[in-house]
Amino acid sequence: MIRIVRPRLPTELEASLLVLTQEMARTPVTERGEQAERMWERKTVRRDVYRPVREALEDMAPGVDCCMYCGNHLADTVDHFVPKSQCGLRTFYWPNLLLACSTCNTRFKGNKYRSDGLVGSLLVDPTREDPFDHLDLGLASGVYRPVEDSPKGEWTIKVCGLNEGKRPRVRAEAWLNLADDLEGWARARADGDRKNMRRKVYRMRTQPFADVCYAALHKAVSGDAPRIFAAEEPGVLELLRDGELRAAFQV
């Protein structure tokens, strides 16, 4: 899970969402959950709202439509951060909408949002805060752990199933691929081969689990970096800290 910047929507789409929210506000509170389901499935909403919202989220997402929870690519559902069954008024509220893969949306996260009442949601919202404050990704293992026993980190790992199934294994593979591509990028630079440098950056940016790449870039500038990267090839840390490479990733 990585930090994602949420842009404003085109004015027309923003206005359409507002009209739907106003319609929801006129619905009695006790009926909003069911009404939200009905409105979300409405034919005109699917065509004029759902589709453009999903496209806006795909543009926002890292890599190739990476799920904003687990980081895997080709996510294709719009998820309500606060489930519409719990707060119908947020069904058409842009800051409540995230791009999710169907595994996160239905099998893991589903309706398991929770609020502790005082400090807001216990689930990390990557569009509002930096997930790295709560979640640490082991690059070689592909396993997430909470940062300093962060309750938010713990809850997020559990709710989103971040360490379930083959996810850690695929992340660990992504890290090996990334290390190879970094070395390929450095060789291309030494040869003055700009085209190949761009290709390597494109490959690194678009591989599944974009969180691996951004976690590596994040860890490389932390005080603990020499220890974290001690087991890796000697040049890897240096490359992750390279100004030209970081500029290509806009970090």
Q: Which residues bind Zn ion (CB under 5 A)?
A: 67, 69-70, 101, 104
Residue nearer to Zn ion on the CB measure, 49 or 104: 104
Least distance to Zn ion from the beta carbon of 104, Å? 3
- Short-list 226, 207, 242, 235, CA closest to 62: 207
- At 8, is the secondary structure helix, strand, or coil? coil
CB of 150 to Zn ion, least distance (A): 20
DSSP string, 30-98: GGHHHHHHHHHH-HHHIIIIIHHHHHHHHHHSSTTT--TTT--S---EEEESS-TTT-GGGTT-GGGEE
Question: Please, which residue, 167 or 200, has the CB nearer to Zn ion?
Answer: 167
- Residue 70, C-beta contacts closer than 8 angstroms, at least 6 positions apart: 1, 101, 103, 104, 108, 160, 161, 162, 167, 209, 211
**Pick 77 or 177: Cβ nearer Zn ion:** 77
Query: Distance between CA 118 and CA 193 in Å, rounded?
Result: 54
Our CB check for Zn ion shows the closer of 101 and 212 to be 101
Q: Which is nearer to Zn ion, 67 or 188 (CB)?
A: 67
Q: CB of 69: closest distance to Zn ion in angstroms?
A: 5
User: In whole angstroms, how close is the CB of 32 to Zn ion at the nearest point?
Assistant: 27
Smallest gap from Cβ 67 to Zn ion, in A, equals 3
